[in-house]
Chains A and B, each alone.
Chain A
Amino acid sequence: GNSVTQMEGPVTLSEEAFLTINCTYTATGYPSLFWYVQYPGEGLQLLLKATKADDKGSNKGFEATYRKETTSFHLEKGSVQVSDSAVYFCALNRDDKIIFGKGTRLHILP
């Protein structure tokens, strides 16, 4: 079936460090891929998306590239800030439904 697997957290980094959160997916065909972010006490917000192979989604300094050959959509940021502390969810769209991974909690230390 369709599923998303992302690295387990929590991930703890110092401010200005480089961030990678791994995400791989299993799906038939070519789903759209997303990263959502959940800040404490808030609902999920779309961070970025990619709709076809080799597309790069980007927003707020975060990037992810749709890699069909490795079925991956890893999230990266060159220099994280304390305000990036949140839970990050990788997700795919299949049959018009969004399927989420379990989430990765990110802590950024000042």
Chain B
Amino acid sequence: ETGVTQSPTHLIKTRGQQVTLRCSSQSGHNTVSWYQQALGQGPQFIFQYYREEENGRGNFPPRFSGLQFPNYSSELNVNALELDDSALYLCASSLGTSGSGANVLTFGAGSRLTVL
């Protein structure tokens, strides 16, 4: 059973640029959630994808967008990067959107984004 893999592990961008982060979900999981973890903080929910559709969104602006593909992998795109976007971006997969399966998230190790 493979876990959740994310790429790239580290990247540096400048303000105003765009970034794409990628996530492969755990085998058998069909739901992907993205979280932003600023330094010293807990993860903040960005959005969730289920069956290639956005299924819930946290308090993040529209320049944060995502995709889910038929194989359940996912991308997070951030446009017009700001300094405050510097953070660890975590992808988590789960089985379904409700019930006991949805309660158990499997996290990747994250992509650390630095915006200069």
B-contacting residues of A (Cβ < 8 Å)?
Answer: 4, 32, 34, 36, 41-46, 49, 51, 89, 91, 93, 95-103
Contact = CB atoms under 8 A, between A and B. Distances in A.
Contacts of B35: 100
B102 interface: yes
Chain B interface bracket (under 10, 10 to 19, 20 to 34, 35 or more)? 20 to 34
A43 B104 contact: no
A100 B45 CA distance: 9
The 9 closest A-B CB pairs, nearest first, are A43-B107, A100-B42, A44-B107, A43-B109, A102-B42, A100-B43, A43-B108, A96-B98, A96-B97
B48 interface: yes
Q: At the interface, is chain A mostly helix, strand, loop or mixed? A: strand
B76 to A, nearest CB: 15
A97 B98 CA distance: 9
A101 B42 CA distance: 6
Contact of A32 (B103, B107, B109): B103
B109 A41 contact: yes
A2 B103 CA distance: 16
B4 interface: yes
A25 to B, nearest CB: 13
A4 B45 CA distance: 13
B2 interface: no
Contacts of A36: 107
B43 A44 contact: yes
B66 interface: no
Contact of A98 (B40, B105, B109): B105
Contacts of B100: 51
